[in-house]
Amino acid sequence: MTAGSWTLGGDLEVARIGYGAMKLTGWPKGDPPGRETALGVLRRAVELGVNHIDTSHYYSRGGVAANELIREALHPYPDDLVIVTKVGALVEGPDLALSAERKNGLTPDGLRRGVEANLRSLGVDRLDVVNLRMGDLDRDEAPLAGPLETLLALREEGLIRHLGVSNVTAAEFAEARGIAPIACVQNLYNVSRRDDDALVDACAEAGIAYVPFFPVGGFAPVTAEHLDAVAARHGATVPQVALAWLLARSPNILLIPGTGSPAHLEENIAAGDLTLTEQDLAELG
């Protein structure tokens, strides 16, 4: 892969195209691949140079858990493999259906349970990066400071190497940086959803990785103008152009496209070899 690399947290060098494990379970909706296919996708990703996997203990549905698949496929883990996970208002996968009042993952106990669940299911003594996921409760009811301070204490215990934040506003990002060293921000961003333009640039200036979730649109495929024309010009797919646009957008952007399809995995990785021209970038805006 020729997309280059980024040093996450100042000491973890990762390829800029990683892999998101959510779709391996069909969480929160959708059909997961068969177990052997899922294990094969994970192993093939590493063979293709992926050394950054994004997951969470609450990616679990119908008895299929992303962390357990990762452990079965890849443990003992390669020395350079970085596994990034997240904790937040959800403690377990079924919490998604609970009312806001019943979600307790942002309490000190809930956060510790989430961290310990990730440690246990991945089979590690320390988590490389833990993202604090915000925005799943009313913003006024879910302040960032307390939960981040709890994670900072767990980091000081040696359970976490680096901290990140996810689904945050620009103000929350600034607040987080005043509390703890932040290695990465994981927010919604892609070629057709660019509300975070200023935050991408702020992260780049600070040397912090920006990791867009739904890089090719998630449950609603990207539909930006001229995508089809640019893809046709390169003999590429629209998702490949969307990924290449993100790589060109800023060097601190790390990609974690998720798929349960071996063929789509190969396509996603191949996007790292796609170089968009100045004309392409101008057309995409």
DSSP assignment of 22-82 equals: GGGTT-SSSPPPPHHHHHHHHHHHHHTT--EEE--TT-EETTEEHHHHHHHHHPSPPTT-E
pLDDT above 70 (res 140): no
Tell me if residue 189 is catalytic. no
Lowest-confidence pick of 141-145, 150-154, 255-259, 266-270: 141-145
What residues does each domain of the chain span?
5-284
Per the prediction, the chain carries an average pLDDT of 95
Q: pLDDT tens digit string along 173-215?
A: 999 999 999 999 999 999 999 999 999 999 999 999 999 999 9
pLDDT above 70 (res 139): no
- Output the CA angle 221-59-176, nearest 5 degrees: 85
| pTM score of the predicted model | 0.96
Q: Which of 19, 59, 77, 210 is catalytic?
A: 59
Q: pLDDT tens digit string along 204-234?
A: 999 999 999 999 998 888 888 899 999 999 9
| pLDDT range class, residue 80, cuts 50, 70, 90 | very high
Percent of residues, the chain, with pLDDT higher than 70: 99
Q: How far apart are CA 212 and CA 246, in angstroms?
A: 9
- 5-284 falls under which CATH superfamily? NADP-dependent oxidoreductase domain (3.20.20.100)
Q: pLDDT tens digit string along 35-72?
A: 999 999 999 999 999 999 999 999 999 999 999 999 99
